[in-house]
Each structure stands twice: as structure tokens, then as C-alpha cells.
Amino acid sequence: MSAELRVGVVGVGAMGADHVRTLSEAVPSTRVTEVFDRDTDRAKQVAELAGGRVAESAEGLVHSADVDAVVVASPDSTHAALVLACLAAGKPVLCEKPLAVTADDALRVVEAEVAGGRRLVQVGFMRRYDPGYARLKRTLRAGLLGEPRMVHNVHRNAASGPGSTGASIVTGSMIHELDTVPWLLDDRIVGIRVTSPVADGLPDPQLAVIEMASGILATVEVFVNAAYGYDVRCEVVGTAGTASLAPAVPVSLRSAGTDGVEVSSDFVAHFADAYRVELLAWSRAALAGGAEGPSAWDGYLANVVAEAGVAALHSGERHAVSPVDRPSLYDEGVR
């Protein structure tokens, strides 16, 4: 327990800065020693809070002698290259989702990690660490639901950012469910359909119907302009019962003709516990020189399914999901 993990963080926008704060405040045995961001002022500000220094480049940070492990929270298009650099440097890395912009790029990361012979990459699918999702999975595994048959997912944001497209809703938002559902079920996705009630303009909301290898069906509603707030729901339907994520707000309010709970508009606040537990698990595995949790393989699979989802949205047809064979490095998982 006496060892200390010196962490470098690439990209300190909202997500990266939150990771720095969480590492400093809630993850023992870690210290943020270097920070890089293209916005140098921002990098300085965050580095100061953490007691670290500003790196001159992302590559410099990755190879720095003061950095034992790396968190990648920079723009999506830079993920794959940075993770490859970490692998080259033999350093554990937590990469925000998505692992890459294309399945091909993600596959290159997988191949590089396999060539190295040990896991170093964890992908930031933080929902696996959320107390609600974790309990859903335990509930299912404990047999309380019997055999699972369906999963219903809802994923809503108050409003989309600029530049949203039908494809980006799949690759940026739905990708969470594309990882969570297989993980929940210990199963893999073999087919996907994606449709939207909106024909002209941004196809939002979207409805995905996902087929698992076992036959289990999952529905996913993604609605990035749901107006009322940020909301994530999941119900697993089994032959003996169903389990659902409950609103995680600890206080209910009776006021002005309403009895209810507040809905956050902020996914960082919504999943604060998940991020903390994720970073804690990552730091432990990194101190031991490896990685755990969602792997580069999981990141690749999510990219493969997302590409099929985008194609399905555009074609109106079901698309099959055809990943390459899984390398044995990733055999510990059930999938």
C-alpha cells in the first residue's frame, strides 16, 4: 500500500478536470504529476490544483519519467494514437470512451496490446462501476430474475451539443449501452437495428433493437434533446422478475403541486460515484502494472457495434455485427 502511482492526464476539459479532482480527493496512492491540454491556461489551472506541472506535449507526458500511468481525456480523434503511445511506453492507461473513432483504429490498439502480451488499457465505460448498474448485474447473477429475456434502456440528455449528427448520437451516446448490455448479460451483440421517428433533420430520439448471441433482445432509446434533464434507465426482464435502475437522488421534494425528485442536467454529477470507483479500480490495477475492467477488446467491440448501428440507421435495415476473433489475452472475461 506504500507505493504511489504518478498519473499524467492528457486533456483537462470538463471530463479530464473532473478526473484530476477525483484522483486528488478520493483516490489514495495516486498523485497527478503532469497535465497536458492544448489550452495551456486551462492546463496550468488544473495542474496547480493538483500540485502537478504542465507537460509540453501529450507525447512528452506519456514518456515522462515522472508519469507511471496515463489518463486520456482529450478529443476522441486523438485517443487511439495516445493509447498506442502508452502501450509503446509500457504504461497503464485509462482511455475515455470511445477507444477509437473507427473499429479499424480500435483493432490496431488491440493488436498492439496483444503483441505486448499483457493488458495495459482500460476503456472509460464507467457505468460498469456505477452502484446501480453493479447492483443490477449482481441481482441478475444471483438468480433473482431467473433467465434474462429482454433489457430496456433509456438514455436521455437535456440538449445536444453543436454538431450532433445521427451517427454521433450512436458513437458518442448509445455506445455506453453498446458496452453495458453485453457486460450486464455476459453475452455479445450479433445484430442491430436503429430507427428514428424524425425523418428530416437530426434523427433524435433513436430506437435501437439489439440481438444478443443468446437471442436476448435489448431496446435502447437514446434521446439527446429530451429537454427535462439527464436520465439513464435500465430494466432487465427475466423469467422470475425484473430489476430496474432507480432514481439515485437522495431527497424527494413536495413543492408547488408536485411530489418528486429533481432530475440532474449533468451527467458528471449523475455518475460521480461511478467515476470515483472506476478511478480507484484503475489505480489499483495500474499500481500492479496492469489493467482491469473494460478492456481494449471491449472498446473495439463497442466500435464494431456502433459502426453497424450507424449503418443500420442510414439503411433502415438490420446489420449483423462481425468482430474478428477474440485474442486469448482477453479470455478471462466470459465473452
* 51-90 residues near a copy of itself, rule: CB under 8 A: 51
C-alpha span between 267 and 244 (Å, rounded)? 19
Cα separation of 154 and 221, whole Å? Answer: 5
Dihedral sign, Cα of residue 241, residue 247, residue 253, residue 259: negative
Cβ atoms 210, 302 nearer than 8 A: no
Amino acid code (one letter) for 72: V
320 is an interface residue for a copy of itself by CB under 8 A:
no
Provide the residue type at 142 as one letter: A
Residue 41 lies near a copy of itself (rule: CB under 8 A): no
Q: How many residues does the chain have?
A: 335
User: Please, which residue, 15 or 209, has the CB nearer to a copy of itself?
Assistant: 209
For a copy of itself, which is the closer residue by CB, 234 or 304? 234
For a copy of itself, the binding residue among 14, 28, 40, 90 (CB under 8 A) is 28
Can residue 45 be called a binding residue for a copy of itself (CB under 8 A)?
no
Which positions ≥6 away from 250 have C-beta within 8 Å? none
Stretch that binds a copy of itself, among 77-85, 89-97, 172-180, 207-215 (CB under 8 A): 207-215
Is the distance from CB of 179 to CB of 173 less than 8 angstroms?
no
Residues 249-268 that bind a copy of itself (CB under 8 A): 249-263, 265
Locate cell 431496446: which residue? 219
Query: Between 239 and 328, whose beta carbon lies closer to a copy of itself?
Result: 239
Residue 129 DSSP one-character state = G
| Residue 202 binding a copy of itself, by CB under 8 A | no
Residue in 65, 117, 228, 322 binding a copy of itself, rule: CB under 8 A: 228
Site membership for a copy of itself, residue 31 (CB under 8 A): yes
Nearer to a copy of itself, 63 or 335 (CB): 335
Distance CA 163, CA 168 (A): 9
The residue among 113 and 231 lying less far from a copy of itself, judged by its C-beta, is: 231
Whole-number minimum distance, CB 227 to a copy of itself, in Å?
5
Q: How far is the CB of 115 from a copy of itself (least distance, A)?
A: 34
Residue 89 or 150: the one with the smaller Cβ distance to a copy of itself is: 150
- Nearer residue to a copy of itself within complex by CB, 244 or 315: 244
287 binds a copy of itself (CB under 8 A): no
Q: Is there binding between residue 48 and a copy of itself (CB under 8 A)? A: no
Window 108 to 137, contacts with a copy of itself (CB under 8 A): 130-132, 135-136
Residue 16 found at the interface with a copy of itself (CB under 8 A): no
Integer angstrom CA distances of residue 146 from 185, 210, 236: 12, 21, 11
Among 191, 197, 239, 249, which residue's Cα sits nearest to residue 215? 191
Q: How near is the Cβ of 151 to a copy of itself at its closest, in Å?
A: 10
State phi, psi for 172 to the nearest 5 degrees: -100, -30
Smallest distance, a copy of itself to C-beta of residue 303, A: 25
Let me know: does 98 contact 40? Beta carbons within 8 Å.
no
Please tell me whether residue 199 binds a copy of itself under the rule CB under 8 A.
yes
| Closest C-alpha to 238, from 333, 128, 137 | 137
CA 230 to chain centre: 16
Q: Does 143 bind a copy of itself (CB under 8 A)?
A: no
